[in-house]
Amino acid sequence: MNFHRNHWLLLGTIFFGFIGLAFIIAILPAQWMQQNTEPLPEAEPLSDLEQRGLEVYIAEGCVACHTQQVRPLPMDQPWGRPTAAADYALLGPMDVWRPYSPAVLGSARTGPDLSNIGARQSSETWQYLHLYNPRAVVKDSIMPAYPWLFEPATGTEGDAPVVTIPEAYAPEDGKVVPTEQGQALVAYLLALRQIPIEGAGGTTQEASAETDQKGVPAEESEGQAGAKGDTLYANNCASCHQANGQGLPGTFPPLAGNSLVLAEDPGEHIDTILHGAQGRTIDGTEYASPMPGFADQLDDDQIAAIVNHERTSWGNDAPAATAEDVAGRREAGEK
């Protein structure tokens, strides 16, 4: 055996050595992990529509900018709990030509992690607006727009959602309808919800309540109650109603000067956050976009903090609500 004289022997050793190392350090451990990792008890497989959305997600290159792997770091707490192997247990091969699980983990963090985007931003309308033109809902977003996932509204859309676009970004008639691909992609994004794991850290909402914006644990005091409401509002409400409380004209109502927010009795304000709303006329404007409820995501103290932030910000000045007020409205149920 002489590598200096027998080049075929040298190349063969390198080639088969590389193949062998690849199996030992990568392929076999990955197969073992995939075969021995059970999904979380409450995990459900993607529906047919959500699976098509996953294919759109891959085809449009979303993985190039977004990860689905929350690291156990303070800076990742706004995105959810740290990711576990079980989160990917139900991901399977896309088709016979792609006999491996899609690489949704990603590595580039140009945009926010999407592991829990369905819980962090559960508004279907917001997701459509964000895809059509991200600047319509996030002024400084650098994400590209995806207008080819929409068509102009014609009035004959049937059950397809009609999305009203803010005037600055709207087409000529102001409304669009998502294509089948657009609807599938949004269905997939809304399906991305982390299942809580005991001892693995809180959900996005819990994390936002326990940490300040720098990820430092916050000791609540009277002076910090306002900051807590500010943080909860930023993480749960500002994407639709905007940080300045002005909303998006015709789509998401403003909270500054809103008669419901300024009412002496905070009951309806609390009910709206607990149970959501749709089709309401507020201060003379009808808002068709549904608002999701937060009863299952936020506790009484957190909702009271958001209510009080909204009732005392942007020039608003209305009586405060308490966690006991929220508990009473929660117990009364949706009306």
Q: What is the pLDDT of residue 220?
A: 53
Determine which helix (DSSP H) or strand (DSSP E) holds 135, and give its type and residue range.
none
Query: How far lies 47's CA from each of 68, 162, 271, in Å?
Result: 19, 23, 31
Residues composing the chain: 335
Closest CA to 149 of 112, 190, 184: 184
Q: How far is CA 309 from CA 19, 238, 253, 322, in A?
A: 60, 12, 16, 12
Each of the 335 residues of the chain gets a pLDDT tens digit; together they read 788 888 899 999 999 999 999 999 998 998 888 888 899 988 999 999 999 999 999 999 999 999 999 999 999 988 999 999 999 999 888 888 887 788 899 889 999 999 999 988 888 999 999 999 999 998 899 999 999 999 988 877 777 888 888 888 888 878 899 999 999 999 999 999 999 888 776 554 444 444 444 444 444 555 566 678 898 998 889 889 999 999 988 889 999 999 999 999 999 999 999 999 888 888 888 888 888 899 988 999 999 999 999 999 999 999 999 999 999 999 987 76
Task: Write down all domains in the chain, each with its CATH number in brackets.
Answer: 48-191 (1.10.760.10), 229-334 (1.10.760.10)
The C-alpha torsion from 263 through 268 and 269 to 274, rounded to 10°, is 170
Give the model's pLDDT for residue 217: 42
43: nearest Cα among 74, 89, 85: 89
Q: Return the pLDDT at 209.
A: 46
**Rounded Cα–Cα distance for residues 109 and 23 (Å):** 29
Q: How far apart are CA 236 and CA 295, in angstroms?
A: 13
What are the backbone dihedrals phi and psi of residue 13, each rounded to the nearest 5 degrees, phi first? -65, -40
E strand residue ranges, the chain = 150-152, 163-164, 175-178, 280-282, 285-287
DSSP β-ladder status, 163-164 and 150-152: unpaired
DSSP string, 263-299: -SS-HHHHHHHHH-B-SEEETTEEE-S-B---TTTS-
How many helical (H) and strand (E) elements, i.e. helices and strands, does the chain have?
12, 5
Query: Which pLDDT score is estimated for 49?
Result: 96
